[in-house]
Structure 1
Amino acid sequence: MDQAAIALNRFGLGGLGDQDPPSEPRRWLESQFAAYQPAPAIIASQTGSARLIEMLREARDDRRERKDEARAAGTDPKPKDDNLPGPYRPLREVYIQAAGARITAALTSPAPFLERLVHFWSNHFAISIDKVSALGLAGAYEFEAIRPHLLGRFGDMLNAVERHPGMLLYLDQAESIGPESPLGTRAAQRGKQRGLNENLAREILELHTLGVRTGYNQQDVTEFARALTGWTLGGIAKQPALRGPGPKFWFAAVIHQPGTRTIMGKRYAQSGEAQAQAVLDDLAAHPSTAKHIATKLARHFAGDVVPIALVTRLEKTFLSTRGDLPSLYRVLMDAPEVWGGTAKFRSPWDWTLAALRATGIKSLPGKSAAGTLQQLGQPIWKPSSPAGYDDLAESWAGPDALVRRVEVAQRLAQRSGAGIDARKLAGRLFAGALSPSTAAAIQRAESGEQALALLLAAPEMMRR
């Protein structure tokens, strides 16, 4: 694969069928830093998290009322034809619209390299619509916590992520109460248990910053969870004391566990919100965090077998620049391991974007986008765990998964194949990298539609 094809596919999201490859690939990548739009019109038009919190509260209140009414009438409050309770269906519509907006932004962006990085970080800091409370907020989470901080520092993105309503709800932080906090103490006096939730603390340490087996233990997780108590969101709780000033992040002192915390050998005597903030600041600058982030970036861009030398350079840059993200991106742009490394097998998300861009499709209705990625095995914003979707070929290259891609390729070819010369398109997309067998298969195709389907399902299209 020549450098233009690498720039388009490994750094970017795939070539455009109506545009020639960049004549100066590195300069083309560099130009995207200025071209990147944190909030293009299609993203800016989506429902924001403040309104979504209100919708979620209304849905919860509505559902409680329906259950009470059904219980009084002796009927079943659950819908017969849908696993999602009726009050939450407007939030599903918000999700579908946001999924379509994500696709459209990727297909029309003048900065596909930066869009790839949006998807990388959104998966690193993953939330999932598997949890109903995150259903409507998944898009707003990416649009509000990831996109605006793409060209900032890692610590800034980390702070935005951990304070966002989508993350607070997904990992149950909004329900975490310090046992010896004012509210926790009053509850205990009445014989009620109001407990500590460790989910957010554990995932920050294990997934978002340090990585697994990097020197912390269960006691550190518990102490960090205590420091995080009070980090919640207003506008949703039933209790007036926890409703807060409005539908957004706020620090609720009434549920914060008092006292000094010791985490990984360091004492944190700060009071209130500042305590967990101090821990986050240290984690954002920790050498283990630098190595964890460097390894994931190297794996994503340079291949499943991580080049140690590239990891070392990324790690050093992370530490010397205090987590400056553009500096890390430029290390990748200059890395011979990326320009000459082994091609990555495309995930279903990557392959779908590449196929749509190749065929000139500029947008996809949200319902179609969500359905297509569901069929391909990587539904949008729906990983099975907070670890996000895997970034290894073995997770995506199974025979059944490839058959599903062929089916989608055929549908795309039926939609747009009549006016596309697959032979010319192959030359634009894979200059210097098209195998004789793929070229021959396209040449022998009985129709333009069949030729395009063969190209979209070809081995070259499956890798970047």
Structure 2
Amino acid sequence: MDRDLQAAIAVTRFGLGARPGELETVKADPQGWLTAQIRHDGADQPQASPATAAQRYAEVRQYAQQRREERKDGTFDKGNRGDPVKMAARLLRDDTGGDFLARAQLAATTDAGFRERWTLFWCNHFTVSATKLVTATLVGPFEQEAIRPRVFGRFDNLLLASSTHPAMLVYLDQAQSIGPHSRAAERFGGGDGKPKGLNENLAREIMELHTVGVDAGYTQADVTEFARAMTGYSITGPRDADQPGRFVFRQNAHEPGVRHVMGRSYTQDDGYQAWGVMQDLAASPHTARHIATKLAVHFVADEPPPALVDRLQASFLETHGDLGVLARTLVTAPEAWDPQPRKFKTPYEFMISSWRAAGTTPQTLQGLAPVLNSMGQKAFSAPSPKGWSEEAAVWCAPDAIVKRMAWSEGFAAGAIGDRDPVQLARDALGARLTPLVAQAVARAETRAEGLSILLMSPEFQRR
């Protein structure tokens, strides 16, 4: 395979799409360009608000308190800037919206497209969705605090960081989980007067989605036992000495006793009991297979080459989940360099690669979020803990293609200026640009039409 084609594959398949002039740099050493992006200190950080998850959580608690007071006294002053409705709107606009725009701007401009794509894979793997106000404001800090610093570290550390972050604890209701036989269960009751109890959501998703996968042979009893081990994993509140919104292990909520998960026993060891379970799950061959398959599906094909999955699984097991080595294994695997593009871009990938192809960047959330909503990929709002689908069939329905076409026409009209769309096509696709597409772009009646033809071409829609 010649260097020009290798460069095009490196930037469009492993990266987020080429910016003008980028392919010329990459073709000197395509694999070296990819491996140079693997670094121990993790991914780049978006230029978002510096507010931490704890600070965001405290803001939402303040909002909730105001709502309770409003309901209690029946007052509502629309002219009051501090009223709860306006506060909720500000939180969503400034916090959630600002985080997502900053993330998109990073993706549209970064020189390390593979590093960002690799990071987005792990953000989707450990999904936290903006299904309620508190999780909406915490998704950005979750990615920045738990995921990005660890994407090239050890998998077990990434698993622990994501599982104990306030965003995940709130999203999957772990913060309210109480051991049925714990001291807390005897003291506190729910709103119906009955004792609060066990919540299995996080334990189930760690096993099903984050580690061993549904085919690992675990039972409902294993999920329940793991959930019992996780009781006590919670978040600090106003009564705690530490700042509200931080991870805390509440021993009085922990279910006492030895736990048995997937054939192994875990002694009563306070907060380390659940960590012991997670370490074993992270080291399982089932986890290695699950992660290897997901990576191969994301980067290469909906039905990936079995040899690539085997190669990634072996790398994961041999290095005890070293994600930096795993990333290097992926980008140097011969099976990952098949010239035939088999992945269909998600709406987010399509829009980001369009900005990159035009050498521009999204300036406002209004120019990004509504379009993603219409295409079915609402910002920070995956439909379930499983994350966004990787399958082409989900994203290439006729109605979805029509919406992409409408957006690409409007985008091209504002982005093209006096530039040559044929040159933009060469810059975007390199050796992947076919004579047919090049001819169609060249014969367009206007520059804007030429750019929109490029963006809607099969070569651009696939990676």
Same fold at TM > 0.5: yes
Query: Within 2, Cα distance between the matches of 1:95 and 1:203?
Result: 24
Aligned counterparts of 1:113 and 1:7: Cα–Cα separation in 2: 8
- In structure 2, the CA distance between the partners of 1:156 and 1:63, relative to structure 1 (3 Å rule), is same
The one-letter amino acid of 2:88's match is Y
Question: Offset of 1:162 from its aligned partner?
Answer: 0.3
- Return closer, same or farther for 1:381/1:145 CA change in 2, 3 Å cut-off: same
Query: Secondary structure of the residue that 1:262 maps to in structure 2?
Result: strand
Instruction: Name the SS of the counterpart of 1:250 in structure 2.
Output: strand
Match of 1:26 in 2: 31
Q: Which residue of 2 aligns with 1:374?
A: 373
Tell me how far 1:272 sits from its aligned partner: 1.0
SS state of the match for residue 267, structure 1? strand
Residues 358-415 of structure 1, C-alpha deviation per residue, up to 9 Å, x if partnerless? Answer: 1111343233322232122212211110000010111111111111111111121121
SS in 1 for 2:206: helix
The 2-side partners of 1:37 and 1:332 are apart by 17
Partner of 1:390: 389
**Judging changes above 3 Å, is the alpha-carbon distance between structure 1 residues 10 and 36 closer, same or farther for their aligned structure 2 residues?**
farther
| Alpha-carbon distance change, 327 to 310 in structure 1, aligned in 2, over 3 angstroms | same
Structural mapping, 1:382-421, within 5 Å: 382-421=381-420
Q: CA RMSD in A?
A: 2.2
- Pairing of 1:273-292 with structure 2 (within 5 A): 273-292=271-290
1:176-208 residue CA offsets vs partner (Å, 9 max, x unmatched): 111111110123699532111100000000000
User: What letter matches 2:64 in structure 1?
Assistant: R
**Separation of aligned partners in 2, 1:109 and 1:35:** 18
Q: Against the structure 1 CA distance between its residues 295 and 360, is the aligned structure 2 distance closer, same or farther, given a 3 Å change threshold?
A: same
1:6: which partner in 2? 9
Assess if the C-alpha contact under 8 Å between 1:260 and 1:267 holds in 2.
yes
**Cα deviation code 1:131-161 (max 9, x no counterpart):** 3320100111111111000110111110110
Higher deviation after alignment, 418-427 or 379-388 = 418-427
Aligned equivalent of 2:195:
193
Alpha-carbon contact 2:57-2:134 (below 8 Å) kept: no
The answer for the alignment partner of 1:261 in structure 2 is 259
* C-alpha contact 1:18 1:360 (8 A) present in aligned 2: no
User: 1:233 & 1:195 partners in 2: Cα distance?
Assistant: 17
CA distance in 2, matches of 1:150, 1:322: 14
Residue 204 of structure 1 aligns with an amino acid whose one-letter code is: I
TM-score, normalised with respect to structure 1: 0.92
Q: Which stretch shifts more, 131-140 or 430-439?
A: 430-439
Aligned pairs (5 A) from 1:430-449: 430-449=429-448
Q: Mean Cα displacement is larger for which, 184-193 or 345-354?
A: 184-193
Change (3 A) 1:188 1:300: closer
SS of equivalent to 2:303 = coil
Indicate the residue corresponding to 1:110 in structure 2. 111
Would you say the 8 A contact 2:105–2:361 is kept in 1? Answer: yes
Q: 2-side partners of 1:91 and 1:263: how far apart?
A: 40
Is the CA contact (8 Å cut-off) linking 1:345 and 1:462 kept in structure 2?
yes
Distance 1:155 1:136, change over 3 A: same
- Report deviation, 1:48: 1.4
Which residue of structure 2 lines up, in the alignment, with residue 306 of structure 1? 304
1:81 maps to what in 2? none
Runs of 4 or more consecutive aligned structure 1 residues displaced over 6 Å after TM superposition: none
Output the CA distance in 2 between the equivalents of 1:146 and 1:177.
27
The answer to whether 1:458 aligns with 2:457 is yes
Conserved in 2, the CA contact under 8 Å of 1:177 and 1:229?
Answer: yes
The residue type equivalent to 1:117 in the other structure is W
Compute the TM-score of the two structures, normalised by the length of structure 2.
Answer: 0.92
Aligned to 2:71: 67
1:337 — aligned with what? 335
Aligned to 1:164: 165
Residues 233 and 244 in structure 1, CA contact (< 8 A), matched pair in contact too:
no
| 1:229 corresponding residue in structure 2 | 231
Q: Cα distance 1:54–1:39, how it changes in 2: closer, same or farther (>3 A)?
A: farther
Displacement after TM superposition at 1:111 (Å): 1.2
Structure 2: which 5+ residue stretches go unaligned? 79-83
CA contact (8 A) 1:303 1:342 kept: no
Deviations 1:290-321 (Å, cap 9, x if unpaired)? 00000000111121112111111111110110
Residue among 47, 54, 57 paired with 1:53: 57
In structure 2, the residue matched to 1:356 is 355
Output one character per residue of 1:319-360: Cα deviation in whole Å (capped at 9) or x when no partner: 110000011111111112111164211111111110010111
1:92 and 2:92 matched? yes
What secondary structure sits across from 1:418 in the alignment? coil
Q: Given the superposition, is the C-alpha separation of residues 218 and 209 from structure 1 closer, same or farther in structure 2, using an over 3 Å criterion? A: same
- Matched-pair contact (CA < 8 Å) for 2:186–2:195: no
- Structure 1 residue 40: deviation in Å? 3.9
Greater displacement, 317-326 / 404-413:
404-413
- For residues 144-159 of structure 1, the aligned pairs below 5 Å read 144-159=145-160
Distance 1:173 1:315, change over 3 A: same
The AA in structure 2 aligned to 1:89 is A
Separation in 2, partners of 1:170, 1:397: 29
AA partner of residue 63 (structure 1): R
Q: How many residues align?
A: 450
Which amino acid in the other structure matches residue 15 of structure 2?
G
| Range 203-212 or range 89-98, more displaced | 89-98
Q: Is the aligned partner of 1:15 residue 2:18?
A: yes
In structure 2, what is the Cα distance between the partners aligned to 1:153 and 1:188?
Answer: 40
Deviations 1:98-127 (A, max 9, x none): 001101111222211010011100001111
User: Take 1:188 and 1:169, find their aligned partners in 2: how far apart are those partners?
Assistant: 19
Flag structure 1 segments of 5+ consecutive residues without an equivalent.
79-83
In the TM superposition, residue 86 of structure 1 has moved relative to its aligned partner by: 4.6
Match of 2:81 in 1: none
Contact conserved, 1:14 with 1:358, CA < 8 A, in 2? yes
In the alignment, the residues of structure 1 paired with residue 312 and residue 407 of structure 2 have an alpha-carbon distance, to the nearest angstrom, of 37
